[in-house]
Structure 1
Amino acid sequence: MKRTRSGNIDGFAKSPRRGAVQSLIGVAITAGIIAAGIGALVLSDALDVTGLPDPGPATSYGLPFVRAVGQVSAVVAIGNFLFAAFLVPPQSNGVLDADGYRALRLGGVACAVWATCAALLVALTLSDVSGVPLQDLSPLDAWSAAGLVEITSAWRTTAVVAALVAAATVPVLRWSWAPALLAGALLTLVPLAVTGHSSSGGAHDIATNSLLIHLFAAALWAGGLLALLSHALRRGSHTDVAARRFSAIALWCFAALATSGAVNAIVRLSPSDIMGSTYGRLVLAKALALCGLGVLGWRQRRTAVVALQSNPSSRGPLLRIALTEAALLAATFGVAVGLSRTPPPAAPTEPSPAEVAIGFNLPESPTLIHVLTNWRFDLIYGTAAIVLAVSYFAGVCRLRRQGDSWQRRRTASWVLGCIVLLFATSSGLGSYMSALFSAHMFVQLLMTMLIPILLVLGSPVTLALKALRPSADNAIPGPREWLLAALRSPWARFLTFPVTALLMFTASGYGLYYTGAFDAAVADHATHVLMLGYWLFSGTLFFWVVVVAEESPLRASAIVRTATGVAGLVQFIWTGMMLRNSQTVLGESFYNSLRLEWHTELLADQRLGGAILSVGAACTLLVVAALLLSARSTTQAR
Structure 2
Amino acid sequence: MLRISRIAGPALLIVIAFVVVVTGLRFGGGAEAPILLDPGAVVRWGLPISKLFVNLGLSATIGALMIAIFAMSPKRDEFTLTLDFAAAGAAVWAVASAFTGFFTFLAVRNQPIDLSSAFGDVLASFLTVTELGQAWLATVLIAAAVTVLCFAVRKMSALVFVLVLAVAGLIPMALQGHSGGTEDHDAATSAIYLHLVFAALWLGGLLAIAIARSALGKERLAIVLRRYSSIALVSFIVVAASGYVSAEIRVENLTNLLSPYGILVLVKVFALIVMGLFGAVYRNYAIGRLEASPRKERGWFWWIVTAELGFMGLASGAAAALAATPTPVPEIVAADLPDSSPAAYLTGSPLPPPVTAGNLFTMWSFDLIWVLICAFAIFFYLAGVWRLHKRGDSWPVHRTVFWVLGMLLLFYITNGGVNVYEGYLFSMHMLGHMTLGMMIPVLLVPGAPVTLAMRAIAKRTDGSRGAREWILLIVHSRYLAVIGHPLIAAGIFVVSLWVFYYTPLFRWATTDHVGHEWMIIHFLASGYLFVQALIGVDPTPHRTSYPIRLLLLLGTMAFHAFFGLALMTGSGLLLADWYGAMGWDTGVSALEDQRIGGGIAWSVGEIPTIALAIAVAIMWRRSDGRASVRYDRKAERDGDAELDAYNDMLAKR
TM-score tier, shorter chain, comes to 0.7 to 0.9
Alignment of 1:245-324 (within 5 A): 245-313=227-295, 314-324=297-307
The answer to whether structure 1 residue 151 and structure 2 residue 132 are counterparts is: yes
- 1:572: how far off? 3.1
- The 1:615–1:114 alpha-carbon spacing in structure 2 relative to 1, beyond 3 Å, is same
Alignment of 1:506-585 (within 5 A): 506=494, 508-556=496-544, 561=549, 565-566=553-554, 568-585=556-573
Paired residues of 1:378 and 1:425 also in contact (CA < 8 A) = yes
The answer to whether structure 1 residue 469 and structure 2 residue 450 are counterparts is: no
The answer to whether structure 1 residue 66 and structure 2 residue 24 are counterparts is: no
Aligned partner of 2:110 among 131, 148, 154: 131
1:348 and 1:478 mapped to 2: Cα distance? 43
Paired residues of 1:59 and 1:127 also in contact (CA < 8 A) = yes
- The 1:398–1:328 alpha-carbon spacing in structure 2 relative to 1, beyond 3 Å, is closer
Larger radius of gyration: 2
Paired residues of 2:445 and 2:531 also in contact (CA < 8 A) = yes
| Normalised TM-score (structure 1) | 0.87
2:121 and 2:97 mapped to 1: Cα distance? 15
Paired residues of 2:378 and 2:407 also in contact (CA < 8 A) = yes
Aligned to 1:435: 424
Matched positions, count: 616
- 1:42: how far off? 5.2
Aligned to 1:223: 204
Aligned to 2:39: 55
- 1:570: how far off? 3.8
Aligned to 1:31: 17
Paired residues of 2:449 and 2:538 also in contact (CA < 8 A) = no
- 1:540: how far off? 1.2
Aligned to 2:69: 85
Aligned to 2:638: none
- 1:47: how far off? 6.2
1:300 and 1:230 mapped to 2: Cα distance? 18
Alignment of 1:338-487 (within 5 A): 338-347=321-330, 350-351=336-337, 352=339, 358=347, 360-471=349-460, 478-487=466-475
Paired residues of 1:204 and 1:358 also in contact (CA < 8 A) = no
Paired AA for residue 231 in structure 2: I
Task: Using the TM superposition, name which of 495-504 and 602-611 deviates more.
Answer: 495-504
Paired AA for residue 105 in structure 1: D
Paired AA for residue 310 in structure 2: A
1:416-457 CA distance string (max 9 Å, x none): 212211221222122111221100100000001110121011
1:625 and 1:52 mapped to 2: Cα distance? 69
Aligned to 1:5: none
- The 1:275–1:383 alpha-carbon spacing in structure 2 relative to 1, beyond 3 Å, is closer
Aligned to 1:178: 159
- The 1:115–1:444 alpha-carbon spacing in structure 2 relative to 1, beyond 3 Å, is same
Tell me the secondary structure at the aligned position of residue 114 of structure 1: helix
Paired AA for residue 576 in structure 1: G
Paired residues of 2:87 and 2:146 also in contact (CA < 8 A) = yes
- The 1:60–1:24 alpha-carbon spacing in structure 2 relative to 1, beyond 3 Å, is same
- The 1:99–1:599 alpha-carbon spacing in structure 2 relative to 1, beyond 3 Å, is farther
Paired AA for residue 282 in structure 1: L
1:132-185 CA distance string (max 9 Å, x none): 245578567534433443333222222233333333334423322333333332
1:133 and 1:593 mapped to 2: Cα distance? 43
Task: Using the TM superposition, name which of 615-624 and 513-522 deviates more.
Answer: 615-624
The answer to whether structure 1 residue 197 and structure 2 residue 178 are counterparts is: yes
- The 1:245–1:401 alpha-carbon spacing in structure 2 relative to 1, beyond 3 Å, is same
- 1:411: how far off? 2.3
2:161 and 2:180 mapped to 1: Cα distance? 28
Aligned to 1:3: none
- The 1:21–1:453 alpha-carbon spacing in structure 2 relative to 1, beyond 3 Å, is farther
Paired residues of 1:434 and 1:522 also in contact (CA < 8 A) = yes
Task: Using the TM superposition, name which of 281-290 and 374-383 deviates more.
Answer: 374-383
- 1:565: how far off? 4.2
Aligned to 2:633: none
- The 1:569–1:307 alpha-carbon spacing in structure 2 relative to 1, beyond 3 Å, is same
1:175-229 CA distance string (max 9 Å, x none): 2233333333222222222322225423333322322332222111111111111
Tell me the secondary structure at the aligned position of residue 182 of structure 2: coil
Tell me the secondary structure at the aligned position of residue 38 of structure 2: coil
Paired AA for residue 327 in structure 1: G
Aligned to 2:632: none
- The 1:133–1:542 alpha-carbon spacing in structure 2 relative to 1, beyond 3 Å, is farther
Paired residues of 2:441 and 2:527 also in contact (CA < 8 A) = yes
- The 1:258–1:582 alpha-carbon spacing in structure 2 relative to 1, beyond 3 Å, is same
- 1:290: how far off? 1.6
Paired residues of 2:78 and 2:216 also in contact (CA < 8 A) = no
- The 1:56–1:573 alpha-carbon spacing in structure 2 relative to 1, beyond 3 Å, is farther
| Normalised TM-score (structure 2) | 0.85
- 1:77: how far off? 0.7
1:507 and 1:141 mapped to 2: Cα distance? 44
- 1:362: how far off? 3.6
Paired AA for residue 174 in structure 1: K
Paired residues of 1:569 and 1:620 also in contact (CA < 8 A) = no
- 1:80: how far off? 0.8
Aligned to 2:194: 213
Paired AA for residue 158 in structure 2: W
- 1:40: how far off? 6.1
2:484 and 2:364 mapped to 1: Cα distance? 36
Aligned to 2:649: none
Paired residues of 1:39 and 1:60 also in contact (CA < 8 A) = no
2:398 and 2:530 mapped to 1: Cα distance? 21
1:574 and 1:413 mapped to 2: Cα distance? 30
Name the % identity: 30
- 1:371: how far off? 0.7
- The 1:595–1:265 alpha-carbon spacing in structure 2 relative to 1, beyond 3 Å, is farther
Per chain length, whose mean CA-contact separation is higher, i.e. which structure has more relative contact order (CA < 8 Å, sep 6+)? 2
Task: Using the TM superposition, name which of 559-568 and 384-393 deviates more.
Answer: 559-568
2:38 and 2:26 mapped to 1: Cα distance? 11
Aligned to 2:643: none
1:82-127 CA distance string (max 9 Å, x none): 1111112334xxxxx3211221232133223323333333332222
- The 1:315–1:556 alpha-carbon spacing in structure 2 relative to 1, beyond 3 Å, is farther
